[in-house]
């Protein structure tokens, strides 16, 4: 079965404290939902479009598990920390 991945890019961050609070609140939720955060941080190198904004990738056992985790009440509650703190793009992608 193909795995599911959250691919998260931050378009802007206006409150680092809010982003840190989100990270602290969301990590245990992601783990309880069967997810594994593979990367999270600011790129060491950036090419082509040149964006140096924060990026994260989390792996789940399937696309369905990734979608269920994102839609879960617990994860949605963790997003409150990002209100006014960051603008993100979240994509759920099927992978290997």
* pTM, rounded to two decimals: 0.92
Tens-digit pLDDT profile for residues 43-79: 999 999 888 899 999 999 999 999 999 999 999 999 9
Burial of 30 per CB tally in 10 Å (0-12, 13-18, 19+) = buried
Give backbone dihedrals phi and psi of 77, rounded to 5 degrees, phi first: -65, -35
Dist. CA 8–CA 10, nearest whole Å: 7
pLDDT at 51: 84
Q: What residue ranges define each of the domains in the chain, with the CATH number in brackets?
A: 3-44+52-95 (3.30.70.100)
Tens-digit pLDDT profile for residues 16-45: 999 999 999 999 999 999 999 999 999 999
């Amino acid at each position: 079965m193909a795995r599911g991945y959250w691919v998260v890019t931050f378009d802007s961050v206006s409150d680092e404290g809010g982003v840190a609070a989100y990270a602290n609140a969301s990590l245990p939720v992601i783990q309880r939902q069967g997810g594994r955060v593979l990367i999270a941080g600011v790129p060491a190198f950036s090419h082509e479009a040149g964006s140096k904004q924060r990026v994260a990738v989390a792996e789940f056992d399937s696309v369905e598990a990734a979608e269920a985790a994102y839609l879960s009440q617990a994860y949605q509650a963790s997003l409150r920390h990002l209100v006014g703190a960051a603008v993100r793009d979240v994509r759920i992608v099927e992978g290997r």
